[in-house]
């Protein structure tokens, strides 16, 4: 399978479940991985912002990524980041260790290369240094993580990544269809795949040549995103209707994510708690938020019926 084939489709940005002591809940994590895969996803993105990577130690990150790789067991490929360090020497050590876990690609965080005030050539220079420091046996990717600040990739940086032959994956968070169209055109014919994180522009981005979806809503209804990525060309009318629902349902991300996603995972039996390290337990997520989220997810059943989707074992719907 080529990189162009492997990195298409849906790549959930994985949650990290925590137990009552706020330690990683490995049993719940195993259930989550199996649920993603039963939903038909193409791959898994571990140790990302949704995984609360900035709140994990390096040792925890490596243990987490190894667990995901082992549990996936070749059923789907795994990419991972954990790119949280500041100094380049720390970043090299950090990501070299992730590369040794068996992941298909190591994902860089775009804001780790330069401060908000530093120009794009500074970022590109450091990106090249870090790329050269990692083994060529592992693919590379970049994620436009919004924390601690969002640094969007310039067209020149995307072109450099495509022409390098090293890069397989960009997790695009620009939320701008014109920019995504340019990026997809730049990546055409290379190993580089554009994975859109934004539901509202997803269908148009697929039409423009984007490879698929890698966003937070795959933690709620990944099967619907899988159907859209697989069938938007063959069933365009249904795809248009489903896209409208997914765009609206994606607003639940504003309901204290990732708590709302963990609450959903508790409701369907995968998680034991909604505990987070990135958010205060019992903070902003209240019964009103829970009701809004669950109603939005329940409406998804109507769209499953519309598209004739059979999601046995993937999406319990008795919320």
143 is catalytic: yes
CB atoms inside a 10 Å sphere around CB 316: 12
Q: Which of 6, 7, 36, 143 is catalytic?
A: 143
Which two structure tokens, joined as six digits, stand for 297?
């997810």
Which two structure tokens, joined as six digits, stand for 70?
């082992």
Residues paired with residue 9 on neighbouring β-strands, in sequence order: 212
Dihedral sign, Cα of residue 236, residue 239, residue 244, residue 250: negative
Rg (CA), the chain: 18
* Phi then psi dihedrals of residue 169, to 5 deg: -150, 125
Give all strands (DSSP E) within 152-306, no chain letters: 167-172, 193-196, 212-213
Residue with token string 């140790």: 47
CB 275, CB 52: distance < 8 Å: no
Q: How far apart are the first and last CA of the chain?
A: 38
* Phi then psi dihedrals of residue 162, to 5 deg: -65, -45
d(CA 108, CA 31): 27
CB atoms inside a 10 Å sphere around CB 189: 9
171 is catalytic: yes
Q: Which of 7, 31, 36, 171 is catalytic?
A: 171
d(CA 24, CA 80): 17
Which two structure tokens, joined as six digits, stand for 284?
């902003």
CB atoms inside a 10 Å sphere around CB 225: 27
Residues with catalytic roles: 143, 171
């Amino acid at each position: 399978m080529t990189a162009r084939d492997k990195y298409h489709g849906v790549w959930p940005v994985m949650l990290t479940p925590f137990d009552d002591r706020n330690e990683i809940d490995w049993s719940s994590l195993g259930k989550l991985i199996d649920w993603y895969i039963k939903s038909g996803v193409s791959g898994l993105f571990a140790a990302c912002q949704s995984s609360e990577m900035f709140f994990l130690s390096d040792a925890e990150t490596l243990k987490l990524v190894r667990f995901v790789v082992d549990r996936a067991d070749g059923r789907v490929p795994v990419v991972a980041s954990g790119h949280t360090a500041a100094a380049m020497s720390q970043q090299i050590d950090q990501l070299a260790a992730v590369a040794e876990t068996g992941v298909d690609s190591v994902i860089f965080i775009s804001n780790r290369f330069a401060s908000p005030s530093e120009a794009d050539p500074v970022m590109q220079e450091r990106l090249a240094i870090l790329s050269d420091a990692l083994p060529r046996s592992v693919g590379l990717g970049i994620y436009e993580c919004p924390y601690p600040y969002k640094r969007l990739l310039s067209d020149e940086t995307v072109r450099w990544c495509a022409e390098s032959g090293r890069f397989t994956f960009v997790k695009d968070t620009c939320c701008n269809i014109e920019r995504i169209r340019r990026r997809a055109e730049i990546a055409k014919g290379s190993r580089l795949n554009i994975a859109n994180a934004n539901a509202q522009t997803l269908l148009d981005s697929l039409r423009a040549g984007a490879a698929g979806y890698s966003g937070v809503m795959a933690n709620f209804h990944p099967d619907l995103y899988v159907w859209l990525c697989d069938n938007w060309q063959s069933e365009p009318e249904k795809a248009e209707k489903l896209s409208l629902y997914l765009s609206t349902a994606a607003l639940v991300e504003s309901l204290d994510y990732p708590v709302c996603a963990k609450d959903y995972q508790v409701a369907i039996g995968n998680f034991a708690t909604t505990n987070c390290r990135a958010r205060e337990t019992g903070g902003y997520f209240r019964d009103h938020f829970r009701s809004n989220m669950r109603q939005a997810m329940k409406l998804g059943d109507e769209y499953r019926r519309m598209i004739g989707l059979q999601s046995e074992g993937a999406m319990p719907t008795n919320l």
